[in-house]
Amino acid sequence: MSMVHVAGNPALDLVGTVTSRGTLDADELTTPDVLAQWYVDAGIVTRRPMVDERHLAAAVALREHLFPLVESLAGGTALPDRHRTALNRAARGPVPVVAVGPDGRRTTSGDADACLVAVARAAVELFDRADGAVVRFCADETCTHPFLDRSRTRRRRWCDMASCGDRAKVRRYRAQPSG
């Protein structure tokens, strides 16, 4: 699963840009151009910002600080100070600006630095949830995408039912004895 936005939070989707973390470790953020489009697809900005190698390196660094924090949050363990401090540092600064465009639709604009601040602030919001949502990792053994479980019972297992959930159903069906 690559470059999906199913987590319910852009920071979790950023963590999910590494596919099969720990085994395949396929990094989906391969170029500045890909990151610029990711910001649009994540809903951070309406138009692609100018992104260079420095911005890409900063986004990857934030992602790598977020992963252990998300693991701690999902597992109910203490937050690693080094990563928490890096997140707090990344959350400082201006965020993209929201406005109403001439067509009456909402637009959001900002440079690559502001986009990264917005993602960092979305991560900070994960740690004090008033809505009762729970951070989980996908139950598919080949997927390491975290997501917000907002289901009524808080027992959601898949980052996306249309992909990981369907694959699990197919595996379960094929494993049944025939006859």
The tens digit of pLDDT for each residue in 79-113 reads 999 999 999 999 999 999 999 999 999 999 999 99
Please give the C-alpha separations between residue 75 and each of 14, 66, 95, 132, 150, in angstroms, as whole numbers.
19, 14, 30, 16, 17
Indicate yes or no: pTM above 0.75: yes
Residue 164 scores a pLDDT above 90: no
pLDDT of residue 162: 66
Check if the beta carbon of residue 77 is closer than 8 Å to that of residue 69: no
Residue 1 is predicted with a pLDDT of 37
Q: For residue range 29-44, what is the model confidence (pLDDT) as tens digits?
A: 999 999 999 999 999 9
